[in-house]
Amino acid sequence: MNKFVAESFYTCLFKISHKLNEISNETLKELDKRDDGKFEIIDVKFNKRKTKSIGEIKSNPTKDIESPKLPRKLPNTLTEQQINDLLDAPDEKTNLGFRDKTMIEALYSCGMRVSELLNLKLSDINFNQGVIRILGKGSKERIVPIGEELISLLKNYIELIRPELLKNVMEDHLFLNSRGAGITRQGFWLRIKDYCMKANIDSSKISPHTLRHAFATHLLNNGADLRVVQLLLGHASLNTTQIYTEVANERLKSIHKTHHPRG
């Protein structure tokens, strides 16, 4: 590459870098989906670029430049104390309150998606083996162990609460609404937001996946192997689970900064 080509090349890169800074993350994501993995804006800049001094540039000098990687947004999660406060929010003396506490415990204890929780059937619970069968994305089945606390709640719910909610209706879903039918995702999530307010948790930072995020993060915080967490969550790729190690690391940094005299 001669002097004039080099000057043209770097001048153009300088202009592009300023343009890229003005592009939103949404646009960057869309550009990054191009077949060749390069930004089309760069290809246009260099595609047979002509100048009076050097003539035509036939090859694209940016073809080996990788697209910039967008920063991964860490998922919102809850502390163990916030989980305890959330579990204490429902009124266990009412049928719906006891049901909701059981559902929150199931989400947190098993790392289920909300859709997986709402689709659970009575036959998916195996008390003898202490496991629950979960049907995940793409109809992929996984078996997740259930702890003593959840077993106790589930037994009481199935024996005492569910028959009163059922009202002589034939329904296979494990968790029922006040009319004896399955619960909608929207209806359940509105109740979760109400419990967040009671527990003084900022509901604007809560999503249907927050308890699942907390499940994975707390397991890693307490020494669980990443591949075990992958299996429990039902992730096809370990890369998907890897994000939770970053959440755990950020939490450790925060604890160190808060509690260590030289943090």
Domains of the chain (ranges, CATH numbers): 3-56 (no CATH), 80-259 (1.10.443.10)
Q: pLDDT-derived band of residue 207, with 50, 70 and 90 as boundaries? A: confident
Pairing state between β 141-145 and 55-56: unpaired
* Tens of pLDDT, residues 45-86: 444 444 445 555 566 666 677 766 665 665 577 888 999 999
Active site residues per annotation: 113, 137, 209, 212, 235, 244
> What residues does 176 pair with on adjacent strands?
182
Distance CA 250, CA 87 (A): 25
Q: How many Cβ atoms from other residues are within 10 Å of residue 168's Cβ?
A: 6
Interval 236-247 mean pLDDT: 63
> Would you state the structure tokens that stand for residue 227, as one six-digit string?
């591949």
For residues 118 and 182, is the Cβ–Cβ distance under 8 A?
Answer: yes
* Tens of pLDDT, residues 155-180: 999 999 999 999 877 889 999 999 99
Query: So what's the pLDDT on residue 159?
Result: 96
Interval 204-223 mean pLDDT: 81
